[in-house]
Amino acid sequence: MITIGICDDEKAYRDHLRKICGSYLDAQKQEFHFVEFTSGEEVLAYQGDKIHLLFLDIEMPGMDGLEVMKKVRSNELIWRIVFVTSHKELKWETIDLKTLAFMEKPIERIGVETCVKTVLRENKENIDISLKTVDGDYYLKLDQILFIQAQGNYVSVYSKKDEITGYDSIKILEAQVKGTTMLRTHKSYLANLQYVEKMSGVVLRMTNGYSVPVGRKYYQSVKEAYFSFIKKITIDRNK
């Protein structure tokens, strides 16, 4: 089930987006439902199911869309955002890990369908990672993990909420995340590029304040992967 959120103070735009999204998702035989908002304040007050894609108008009475983005960066209920506005000069202010695209009004069908298609693909890529723990198998979504550290005969998985101790080897976990945004940076570390704030020399500064080392053997591949990821979320998503 995919949840599409639409935040716009004008009903005509909300109806237009519903029609395009609904038609596309029906054609893909994808189950979905909509959540509508008329203000940024309503988005922040939302406590329902995870919203996989939020179409967010920038210009609204009260709190505007850019303010909403700043406040939902750590909100797990909002996964991806498409900004909608009449002012293209605001485009580069919207760039964020959650930002999927920037669309100018009037909204075109092909742009909306491309955004929905991308969210469906990224949601599919957000795989479950299994970890053997003393209490049995523990599962986390890829986008919940910041980094993994091997420590002797066990591993520590640092998620967005806490630290989980497991008994799989780091090689087993590396095999699970092959081809994703999680990659080996050191003989004892795996790091998720989604949560790298900055690459500084041979260290990755993570969004939770931790530093993950980059081993000499992995430096070039990590550097290439990091800058490729940055390009993807800042340029390729906004073409």
- Residue-level pLDDT at 208: 86
- Residue-level pLDDT at 236: 59
Q: Where do the domains of the chain lie?
A: 2-125, 128-234
- Residue-level pLDDT at 75: 82
Measuring CA to CA, how many Å separate 83 from each of 38, 55, 100? 14, 6, 8
- Residue-level pLDDT at 177: 95
Q: 214 exposed, middle or buried (CB, 10 Å; 0-12, 13-18, 19+)?
A: buried
Strand order in the sheet with 196-200: 196-200, 203-206, 211-213
pTM over 0.85, yes/no: no
- Residue-level pLDDT at 99: 85
* Spans in the chain with pLDDT lower than 70: 89, 92, 234-239
CATH superfamily membership of 2-125? Response regulator (3.40.50.2300)
Within 87-138, residue ranges assigned H as helices are 109-125
CATH superfamily membership of 128-234? LytTr DNA-binding domain (2.40.50.1020)
